[in-house]
């Protein structure tokens, strides 16, 4: 039977009897959807025990962001956890996680100076601070994060490495519609016409990947071809298109190492993001 704990003390107590087993953690902010259940299914492949955390982390919201409006429905989330094989849920209150105004917050160097790090100042610092706490509380062997939020995944991987957490951070592939469109809660805000056009985003990424695999080394040329595909196939406007190294998110001009292509496309009522890792075979 699934156990739900609300305090750090109880989480440690419940998990103390599982230390001879492998624990896989799925950190969440609740409002669970198919992306999270995919993480839970993957966690079950790695761990004997699947733990999930549900905590809307105020530290990762900017002053103008939707912290108060963020959907919270613990009862529904617990049901989803139970139905998806979670063994232990850690659902602390804000007072439990931050009994005092936090004095120590982890910071980042270059990895937060691009993409969402620029658009949401302080966001990734809040994410790694809470994830660091969760790793210390749960002490999992594996922690699962979606590749849809690739920048977050990469930053958490680096944090785990740099802070010597004895665990493996696992990236779980993006859930996609049959058309290739990345599943996102924002897709419901697309018009009928936009819905038929939006798969062009993934197609454009595939074109970019194939070009690189075919030997194209100029990041500018790859971006140009991606841009052309978007312009020709959808009314959505490119909001961001960048190619960065897969290790550190450094900008590249000449593609001679593994890279990630990041794209954001703006529709009338939705900004859709997607990304593609391109491994260079040498």
Rule CB under 6 A: which residues touch ligand PAF? 27-29, 57, 60, 127, 130-131, 149, 152
Residue nearer to ligand PAF on the CB measure, 150 or 229: 150
User: Is residue 264 within 8 Å of 271, Cβ to Cβ?
Assistant: yes
Six-digit token string for 80 = 């989803």
Closest CA to 151 of 209, 112, 202, 190: 112
Give the orientation angle of helix 219-233 with respect to helix 200-213, to 10 degrees: 150
Whether 36 sits among the annotated catalytic residues: the reply is yes
Q: What is the CA radius of gyration of the chain?
A: 20
Neighbours of 178 (CB within 10 A): 6
Torsion over CA of 224, 230, 235 and 239, rounded to 10 degrees? -60
37 versus 60: smaller Cβ distance to ligand PAF: 60
Nearest distance, CB of residue 45 and ligand PAF, angstroms: 20
As a whole number of angstroms, the distance between CA 4 and CA 52 comes to 10
Q: Which is nearer to ligand PAF, 11 or 130 (CB)?
A: 130
CB 150 within 8 A of CB 263: no
Which residue in 44, 258, 267 sits closest to 172, CA to CA?
Answer: 44
CB-wise, 152 or 242, nearer to ligand PAF?
A: 152
Q: Which one, 155 or 207, has the nearer CB to ligand PAF?
A: 155
Q: Which of 36, 123, 165, 229 is the catalytic position?
A: 36
Please list the residues that pair with 163 across neighbouring strands: none
List the beta bridge partners of residue 266: 237, 271
Q: How many Å apart are CA 16 and CA 206, to the nearest integer?
A: 45
d(CA 48, CA 200): 39
Whether the CB-CB separation of 39 and 83 falls below 8 Å is answered with no
The residue (of 146 and 236) whose beta carbon lies closer to ligand PAF is 146
Structure tokens at 143: 């922690």
Q: Which residues are catalytic?
A: 36
């Amino acid at each position: 039977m699934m156990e739900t704990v609300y305090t750090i003390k109880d989480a440690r107590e419940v998990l103390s009897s599982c230390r001879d087993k492998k624990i896989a953690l799925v950190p969440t902010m609740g409002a669970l959807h198919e992306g999270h259940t995919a993480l839970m299914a993957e966690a079950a492949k790695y761990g004997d025990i699947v733990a999930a955390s549900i905590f809307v982390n105020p530290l990762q919201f900017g002053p103008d962001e939707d912290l108060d409006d963020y959907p919270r429905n613990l009862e529904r989330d617990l049901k989803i956890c139970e139905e998806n094989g979670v063994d232990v849920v850690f659902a602390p209150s804000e007072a439990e996680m931050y009994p005092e105004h936090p004095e120590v917050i982890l910071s980042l160097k270059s990895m937060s100076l691009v993409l969402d790090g620029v658009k949401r100042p302080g966001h990734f610092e809040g994410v790694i601070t809470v994830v660091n706490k969760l790793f210390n509380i749960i002490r999992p062997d594996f922690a699962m994060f979606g590749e849809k939020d690739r920048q977050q995944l990469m930053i958490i991987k680096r944090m785990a490495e740099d802070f010597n957490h004895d665990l493996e951070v696992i990236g779980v592939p993006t859930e996609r519609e049959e058309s290739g469109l990345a599943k996102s809660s924002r897709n419901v805000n697309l018009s009928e016409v936009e819905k038929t056009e939006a798969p062009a985003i993934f197609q454009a990424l595939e074109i970019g990947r194939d070009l690189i695999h075919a030997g194209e080394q100029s990041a500018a040329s790859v971006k140009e071809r991606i841009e052309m595909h978007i312009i020709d196939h959808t009314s959505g406007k490119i909001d961001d298109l960048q190619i960065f190294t897969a290790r550190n998110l450094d900008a590249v001009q000449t593609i001679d190492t593994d890279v990630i292509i990041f794209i954001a496309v703006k529709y009338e009522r939705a900004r859709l993001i997607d990304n593609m890792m391109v491994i260079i075979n040498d």
